[in-house]
Amino acid sequence: MHGSDQGPEGAAARFTGRAVTGLRPLSGTLVEAILDDGRVVMVKRHDAPGGVGAEAAGLRWLGAAGTVRVPAVHGHDGRWLVTDRVPEGRPDGRTASRFGRDLAALHACGAEAFGAAPPGGPRDASIGLAPLRNVPGTDWPGWYAEHRVLPYLRAAVDDGTLRAGEASVVERVCERLPELAGPPEPPARLHGDLWNGNVLWGADGHAWLIDPAAHGGHRETDLAMLRLFGCPHLDEVLDGYQEAAPLADGWRERVPLHQLFPLLVHAVLFGRSYAEQAVGAARAALAR
């Protein structure tokens, strides 16, 4: 293989069939490649094992729903993912309301099971640089405890990020999950890492989703993650969602329960301040 084929320029040329006339690095892992026909594509390097295949499969699965817009995948290999670029606009209430309705429609497309990977996606995927195992389950409370809370709790304790006494608070949440979880819901088709940075407000007046950790899960988890780090016009997003697919009673009180998973992932990746937030979320979930 020619040396340039191993970099972003080679990946862009290989997967689009066009010559590359310029590169614009956006970060250590993301580059815009300008093609000889004037189009611009995004070239992303994945360092997490299985990350490229998981993200590509997730984008295709979300895109197949025909609801929220996602960039088209041109191709990928073991390290590089090439997708369309989304020209960015500005968020507004109308776009946010439409995004809420489209997100409700995406969730309603469903999944084979809680924890089901996208078709063609790996069982061992990633969320950010943390491992994410897509192990199917039929019972959401049991699956969420075993595969979305406890693995990161153990890792945070092993790292010394979370203290044993604090861990017991999270373990109590897991024990009480059947009563805390609210009414049973069918598996939803989740983006899986739906923080504000993964929502692009397109110049076309639509919200677009990027960087998924897609799997079958509880729809309230996506919405809780959207709230965790703030989102422009979140009230309009939620109003649009509720208009299309009303949430079960008590969903606002369950937000900390669903935020426990991303907070523990962040504790493993980024340290103590997120561990403290995770314990706070666990206490709030138990206080219901």
Q: Which residues are catalytic?
A: 193
- Rounded to 5°, angle at Cα 7 from 59 and 63: 10
Q: Which residues pair with 190 in a beta bridge?
A: 215
- In angstroms, the CA 25 to CA 4 distance is 16
Kindly give the pairing relationship between strand 207-209 and strand 199-201.
antiparallel
H-only helix segments in 109-163: 140-144, 150-158
**Which amino acid is it at 176?**
R
**Positions of E strands within 7-48:** 20-25, 30-35, 40-45
**Structure tokens, 58:** 């997730």
